[in-house]
Structure 1
């Protein structure tokens, strides 16, 4: 199995941002685009997955459209689409392909689930990882339905795609077993943490170093060093999650991330600061350190950026941890503080995206059963804003006319420019497929024509392009997106072009059988790549998405489908 290991520090998000930021260019001799080609902001139906439970957390079924109220930025909106899904209405997915059988009912793409199991081995002990992952396979076999797919990702300072999206759960079982045999990266973190603990609390308890007093400034310096190191660790995990969100943004349907971790502090170092400030002070320590000093490391804004990105792309987080399952005398005051601090970040991820935080998971199957409830019983609600597109974020609120009902849903929505929607979809097709080609476009990849250069040749039948009258000719416009990612580059390579297609009036009227051809050159280092191409007819609002895989060598390369 080929695995792509990608540095996660915003790589996918950076690729998308640069793809969107590219300045549209015209080929030499082409007329400038007129006002009909201005960028547009789509205001489409906003789809919400709404989970309604009673006070005991059990799903409430049987609700109807009139039982719900939806508000955008505090103003009521009319519900245009409503769909209720309840457990037992469709058959569960088979454990593995067992030959032909009765065809399962076809679900619309918008209701199929794409689940990413994200194993954060930087923030996860081996014992807790085993406790959770040995139950995940059973959960997937029991709860996924036909049409649902799973992706498995491991983070150990780099993103390791262990399995691309697949409906074959036997493959996922084997990948989970492989992960259980790998060391976690938490030992590096634990070693640094233990050193900080020894230094700080050694000074607190011992206090006197051969007659020297320990100042609060010295201790705060040690606290700051640890908070800074933990902050980098948290930043890496958030960046990795954000990269996965970027991959999923253009994927249709329901999307969820099962985040396996021992927790993420919103304020790195807060547990040590708090424990130290509460501990008795030795007389030789000349200055008290306040827990409020940790606020300068607060990462609420970064958490909010991640959840906003996920929420507006219909992605829910389901963090699960068993770090807090320790009981009895082994739990110290510091353990209690640390647990509270680490769980705060997991709650944030879940609450802001409409997922669930599965905390203190002593009984992992029961915890996963709550996720299964969400996957099997929910309400899909859609509304279409009456306002014009503005590219701003909008706050969503959903109310249910049922006494005692608890409601969860994604909190944010943003109108997207067409260019962003197409760029996201191109990135998704590059990573996951499948192709979609209503324009009948053709794609040819020629590598190593010149050292380090790969030529991407795109051909579109003129008969498929919408052409409008323009004097003695007819004119259309295509927006072309190219993105490539793989082993030879830590940051995906991207290009965007806006090109004008002009055809003589007589030829257009007779029905041209020609093809419009445009070539884009990208620079790729040796390695294996996936390449995605989006071709959008700007006037017809129709887009084709194509994908290739290729291996770039030092002197030759082969393009493959």
Structure 2
């Protein structure tokens, strides 16, 4: 790989962005689709939210493609003195299993295996994400490890196609119709009812199918939203981990597409965080030419009336397209030969310009900012990411509120938001360790360990330092061995036991991790983050009572910390103790009346309790019961919207659902 420094005002960047520096990678093509080299910073015009920005550095990155991949025209060599420092290519292969089927997962798996075997270059780094988890909890340059990780890609359990479920009586045309019914669109509801009566007249003679249509629409929409939230959560968590790695990262996102209607804010946040982390998402529609709502389904019964007509467009592709375009990647569709799709991705990711600028608006306010890039030459086409979140890289790595689905008795589930860490950097307990939690926790760990060790700087050759260095580069096996040796030494400092616990957790040795963190709690009882780590370890062992016990201890020490009350409430929801959970969330709102998170969780818990207490009265054609919980949940969500936060779209959706009677 070679780097050409085009502007001499500043030295070539190493792509580890400073807090006030924004880097945008740009691809420029001529009218025949060939990459254009030889441009300087003066050839580009860059604006942020419509305001022109001064480009302080422009760099061309050009990598030699693997054999068989067309070479970009005009090879570029470095003009800088000495060999430039450039990071290896970083590849993430994400199997979006919530949006894959039994027919498309094998195709995606085979394509990834072939790419790793034939195109993955020596020195590159890669990782495989399946079912929301990074396989082996690390990135690696070991080709065989990556190949095996991809080959082992499976669904977590029995998979039932949502497309097939849509087609069961009473049949819904597509996800858009289901969302319309839930929003109260009478035309959509009437079309579905008419279709149901055309397909089963006898059932309609007995009773109107309207309640069944509404119930099915609500159930399907809940499934679509949960699946989309899970997918976007994986993208966000990966972005937080990748933000600490230099250079651009290529995320190959294998999916059939997803629907996120009324969740535009979530999609923008996910794309914005990926863009800020230098991650480009290349979405591959693994259905190939066999797309749309009827793909893969044989002898479907479609009524001839307008209410029975099939979907006229593919509702699933739009959001994956947006994820790719907003991050500067590509959306690859209508391609049955996935090997060609991977070649196109590798070719596109190999050569690009990097434009660096310091925003005229230097306030990192966490808002989404739009970027536009043009070239001051005719007949050239420019592709670049469309925006980013105005968050300093270090701040991006702080834990943000995560969305977790917790299961309660009676097979009901609800999304409850787990609190993010305070400035001290606590890692909050979650009911389950999700996909890129491993990547994110490694990134957060550096800040927390440094907080615990303070000025303690040991010898680089010591087992403790070797172990910590191994953990930071993702080698958790070596890290665990070295840190275990260091922990055995008399007087080993608490940070060694804490780091050892992180390595053990990454290796899924949850009981050992808990034992290491218990030693930290005994030696440094005033170190709040370890209480959350301990609760996490106990939850992963299904010891909910022990997790709550640790948090109760923390509550005694930091009684004015709403994070603790929120975390206790989340575990209580997991256990089905809704009354106790509501009390915990209410306590959090009293501790911090202006903290929006507690209101969101309180609204969700009240909504769950309301749902459990309701019953459907056929004669009245409506649900009754739970009115007081409905009123209180509505007030909680309205307060959250008033205060603002990342879950405003979900809060508004909840308010719409609560208004449905």
Does the pair score TM above 0.5? yes
Q: Which residue of 2 aligns with 1:396?
A: 371
Which among 162, 173, 178 is matched to residue 152 of structure 2? 178
1:132 aligns with 2:108: yes
Q: Which residue of 1 aligns with 2:244?
A: 250
Distance 1:191 1:338 in 2: 18
1:75 aligns with 2:51: yes
Cα distance, 1:320 vs structure 2: 0.8
Greater relative contact order (Cα < 8 A, sep 6+): 1
Distance 1:440 1:148 in 2: 34
1:411 aligns with 2:405: no
Distance 1:434 1:92 in 2: 41
Q: Relative to structure 1, is the Cα distance of residues 184 and 255 closer, same or farther in structure 2, using a 3 angstrom cutoff?
A: farther
Q: How does 1:264-303 map to 2 (within 5 A)?
A: 264-267=258-261, 298-303=262-267
Which among 353, 363, 369 is matched to residue 337 of structure 2? 363
Where does structure 1 lack aligned partners over 5 or more consecutive residues?
A: 1-40, 94-104, 268-297, 460-479, 494-516, 530-561
Cα distance, 1:385 vs structure 2: 2.9
Q: Relative to structure 1, is the Cα distance of residues 195 and 86 closer, same or farther in structure 2, using a 3 angstrom cutoff?
A: same
Distance 1:139 1:330 in 2: 30
Q: Which residue of 2 aligns with 1:187?
A: 160
Deviations 1:56-92 (A, max 9, x none): 6543333333321111221222222222133538999
1:117 aligns with 2:93: yes
Q: Which residue of 2 aligns with 1:385?
A: 359
Is the contact made by 1:53 and 1:406 (CA closer than 8 Å) also made in structure 2? yes
Where does structure 2 lack aligned partners over 5 or more consecutive residues?
A: 1-16, 70-81, 173-191, 303-307, 400-424, 426-437, 459-463, 466-482, 515-523, 542-661
Q: Which residue of 2 aligns with 1:353?
A: 327
Bigger fraction of residues in strand: 1
Distance 1:358 1:112 in 2: 24
Is the contact made by 1:208 and 1:214 (CA closer than 8 Å) also made in structure 2? no
Aligned length: 393
Deviations 1:117-176 (A, max 9, x none): 111222112322222321223334555455431011101xx5252562111222211222
Q: How does 1:146-157 map to 2 (within 5 A)?
A: 146-155=122-131
Q: How does 1:5-404 map to 2 (within 5 A)?
A: 43-54=19-30, 57-88=33-64, 108-109=85-86, 111-155=87-131, 158-162=132-136, 164-179=138-153, 186-187=159-160, 189=162, 192-195=165-168, 198=171, 201-209=195-203, 211-212=205-206, 214=208, 216=210, 218-267=212-261, 298-326=262-290, 337=311, 340-393=314-367, 394-404=369-379
Deviations 1:471-492 (A, max 9, x none): xxxxxxxxx9x978544779x9
Q: Relative to structure 1, is the Cα distance of residues 446 and 456 closer, same or farther in structure 2, using a 3 angstrom cutoff?
A: farther
Q: TM-score, normalised by structure 2?
A: 0.50
Distance 2:65 2:243 in 1: 28
SS for the counterpart of 2:57 is strand
The CA RMSD measured in Å over matched residues stands at 4.7
Distance 1:249 1:404 in 2: 35
SS for the counterpart of 1:238 is helix
Cα distance, 1:229 vs structure 2: 2.3
Q: How does 1:454-473 map to 2 (within 5 A)?
A: 456-457=494-495
Q: Relative to structure 1, is the Cα distance of residues 423 and 62 closer, same or farther in structure 2, using a 3 angstrom cutoff?
A: same
Is the contact made by 1:42 and 1:415 (CA closer than 8 Å) also made in structure 2? no
Is the contact made by 1:457 and 1:519 (CA closer than 8 Å) also made in structure 2? no
SS for the counterpart of 2:92 is strand
SS for the counterpart of 1:247 is helix
Distance 1:396 1:148 in 2: 29
Bigger fraction of residues in helix: 2
Cα distance, 1:456 vs structure 2: 2.7
SS for the counterpart of 1:441 is coil
Deviations 1:193-216 (A, max 9, x none): 454665865444234426346365
Deviations 1:485-542 (A, max 9, x none): 544779x99xxxxxxxxxxxxxxxxxxxxxxx9984724246999xxxxxxxxxxxxx
Distance 1:321 1:366 in 2: 13
Is the contact made by 1:73 and 1:395 (CA closer than 8 Å) also made in structure 2? yes
Cα distance, 1:42 vs structure 2: 6.4
SS for the counterpart of 2:330 is coil
Q: Relative to structure 1, is the Cα distance of residues 483 and 184 closer, same or farther in structure 2, using a 3 angstrom cutoff?
A: closer
Is the contact made by 1:49 and 1:409 (CA closer than 8 Å) also made in structure 2? yes
Q: Relative to structure 1, is the Cα distance of residues 364 and 338 closer, same or farther in structure 2, using a 3 angstrom cutoff?
A: farther
